Amino acid sequence: MEKKRLDIVCMGMALVDSIIKGFDPEPVSASGFCAQSGSLNVGGEAVNEAVSAARLGMKTGIVCSLGEDGAADMILSQLQKDGVDTEGVLRSAEHPTPVTTMFVNSDGTRKSITNASHKYNFHPEEHISAFTCSRALILGSLFRAPFNDPKIIYSVVTEAKKAGQIVVADTKLPNFVKLSLSDIADSLPFVDFITPNEDEAKYYSGKTEPEEMADVFLSYGVRNVVIKLGAKGCFFKNAKTSFFLPAFPIDAADATGAGDCFVAGLTSEVLRILSEEGEDSLDILESRYRDILLFATACGAICTTKIGAITALQDRSQVSAFLKG
């Protein structure tokens, strides 16, 4: 097994979430409204996954774009606090760090407001050494910037495979640029794991049942498909096996970042098992996928217990204790 400097590099969006919980739509004055709480939290798929994986014991790095502003300073401070390697952070005074406003409902579900700063397509493929230095690469948000450009996606995944990396692609519904699976068909065979949630899987596959959704992704050459089903759990399928795994019953405070923690947990557990077995081939994992996804599901569940994407999940021992009940 080739020795890499890092275990995981997470690539994609870094931002600050302005989270408003318990918003009351009835005005209290001509221009004033009330809410239960408001907080600022670092976020973005790449940040959430990098911090979560680091807390799970992985040597983790990040490739993202930040502005020269206070929001960027806040993000960098959190990354450094959690020991995330920030050599791959690209900064530019021309592009502000994205800030997302999120309205969280009492059941933990939420709606978000993005803006033009979220659509900046930085070019990670121009910084190959920043992401090929790890055993696994997580594309934080396939179909969102910078992964809403087929050429960028193809360049990144092919370089990752040349470097012998495991490629994990999380997905998002499109916002500023709309792509289909056929638009990135040449890149999908290089993806080892793809992890859409149920709405994303429906949108991109055109199907309504998890097994049929997974079959569409598999038909494009993706090796393993994990469909995150929220409170219903998740569904896994590859060429050899398929199964549902139920969710843990839990009172959710905020679902922000739960999917990112799930992906970090999945990738971390895959690497942990491969290291334990002294192998670099995913073939040995066929009998272990249920355990891997149980661990990932626990990470996602823990995330929902507090406000903010990286507030609740702290370390591997916490997940182990959660699994023991």
What does the pLDDT look like over 129-188, one tens digit per residue?
999 999 999 999 999 999 999 999 999 999 999 999 999 999 999 988 999 999 999 999
Give domain 6-15+45-94+116-316's CATH superfamily. Answer: Ribokinase (3.40.1190.20)
pLDDT of residue 64: 96
Please indicate whether residue 30 or residue 49 has the higher confidence score (pLDDT): 49
Please indicate whether residue 176 or residue 289 has the higher confidence score (pLDDT): 289
Summarised one tens digit per residue, pLDDT across range 191-201 is 999 999 999 99
pLDDT tier, 252 (very low <50, low <70, confident <90, very high otherwise) = confident
CB-based contacts of 47, cutoff 8 Å, min separation 6? 10, 13, 14, 15, 62, 64, 75, 78, 79, 309, 310
> pTM for the whole thing?
0.93
Summarised one tens digit per residue, pLDDT across range 59-117 is 999 999 999 999 999 999 999 999 999 999 999 999 999 999 989 887 778 788 888 88
Summarised one tens digit per residue, pLDDT across range 8-28 is 999 999 999 898 988 988 889
pLDDT tier, 2 (very low <50, low <70, confident <90, very high otherwise) = low
Q: Where are the domains of the chain?
A: 6-15+45-94+116-316
With beta carbons less than 8 A apart as the criterion, state whether 308 and 19 touch.
yes
pLDDT tier, 280 (very low <50, low <70, confident <90, very high otherwise) = confident
- Summary mean pLDDT of the chain: 94
